[in-house]
Every structure is written in structure tokens, then in C-alpha cells.
Amino acid sequence: MKPIGLLLILSAFLSCLACSRNSSKSSSPTLEPHSGSQDSVIFDIAPVDHAPNRWRGTYTSGGKVSKFIIEIGPAKAFNEKDFQMSSGSGKFLSQSGSEPGVFLANLAKALQAKKVPTNVHRVEIVPFDYVILGQHQSRSSDGGFGDSPNGNWTAMKIFLGEGENVGEVFLNFNFAMGKAEFSIKDSDYGDFVISQLAKVL
């Protein structure tokens, strides 16, 4: 993993650790919540046959279907006293016949991007690094995540790009429901994140 990736993951770890310590006083701890459905876009996921670390993502709206593959590599655990987090690398893979226009427009709105990419040069693969912020999470009424009670969500943050050009976005999964979502991390990342995702969605 590149040095910038390690620095970003360390930063995410420290911020999440602080969040966990602050929330330990509450009966429903929350891991980096987002403000609600207007800041996220949910899509369908299904396992890919004979590929246990791959899921097929689809988003259907307005008669258009965006389709892509998400591959998540093995995670390596971090341990800090009673707090645990894990990180690794993954990639998005493009699929022929995808019609991402509506998906990209809705993502741009959710991520507070200033524009929707046009004339995009599609590629086969867009890699990312990830940090798993929590597993067996339940959804709270404000759209955040907590582990009391346990649930089926996995809360994850991904890092797109390399060098000084890196953007962050939450990518959360609920395999029991067959759902996943992209959710805003920071509006400053909106345009960069959408420009990267547009290459493969």
C-alpha cells in the first residue's frame, strides 16, 4: 500500500477511535454517521458465482440499469486496547452494457458534487483502499450505525485515487438484505469521487 494510503487509514483509525470512545457513554454507539438518505444512494448487490470476494452491483431507475462488480480483498486487523478495525484493498470492475447516467446523477447529488461527469473515459478497473469501521451494525433513526442492538450492516470507508489526489466515501453493505450504499464522507471529495466512480459504473 502506498504511504499516502497508510496515512489516510491511520487518520481514519484515530478519528474512529475517538468516535468510539465518545460514544461509549451512550447505550447506542454510532460509527461515523451520515445525516440521512439524502446523502446516500442505495443499490442492489448479489454474490458472483465461484468468486466469494466479489459482488455484482446494480442500480435500476428510469428504465436504465447501471451494473458493476465490487471486489474486496482480505482485511488485516488493527488492535487498539478494546477497539478493533481492519483494512485492505479492493477494486471496482466495469461491466459491458451498463447505463450509469441516472445512477451518476443521483450520486452526484448525494455526494454534493458540483457537476456530473460527461464524456467519461471508461476503464476496466478502479482500485481502492478500505477501512472497515464496524461489523454487525444496526441502523439508527438518524441514519448512522451502532452495535446495540446487533444488525447486518458492515460500515466501511474507501479511499479512491493515489498520491495527493485522494477522495473518500462510505461504502456500506447489508448482505442479508442484498443492499449496499454509497454515502457522503465530505462534500469536498464529491467531484473527485464521482469522477473516479464514473469510470466503472
Residue in the block written with cell 464524456: 119
- How far is 4 from 19, CA to CA, in rounded Å? 23
**Confidence at residue 149, expressed as pLDDT on a 0 to 100 scale:** 84
Q: Which residues contact 60 (CB under 8 A, 6 or more apart)?
A: 44, 66
pLDDT score recorded for residue 187: 94
- The residues pairing with 96 across neighbouring beta strands, listed in sequence order, are none
**What pLDDT was estimated at residue 3?**
45
Question: For residue 143, what pLDDT is reported?
Answer: 73
Q: Please, what is the end-to-end C-alpha distance for the chain in angstroms?
A: 24
Task: State how far the Cα of 74 lies from the Cα of 193, in Å rounded to an integer.
Answer: 23
Residue type, 44: D
Residue 164: per-residue pLDDT? 86
pLDDT in tens, the chain (201 residues): 454 444 444 444 444 433 433 333 333 444 444 444 688 999 999 999 888 899 999 999 989 999 999 999 999 987 766 677 799 999 999 999 999 999 999 999 999 999 998 888 999 999 999 999 888 888 877 777 877 888 899 999 999 998 889 999 999 999 999 999 999 999 999 999 999 999 999
Whole-number Å distance between alpha carbons of 68 and 58: 7
Cα 64 to the center of its chain, rounded Å: 22
pTM over 0.75: yes
Which alpha helices (H) appear in the chain, and where do they start and end?
3-23, 101-110, 190-197
Confidence at residue 80, expressed as pLDDT on a 0 to 100 scale: 61
Q: Rounded CA gap, 10 and 201, in Å?
A: 28
Between CA 148 and CA 31 the distance in angstroms is 12
For residue 141, count CB atoms less than 10 angstroms from its CB and return exposed for 0-12, middle for 13-18, buried for 19 or more: exposed
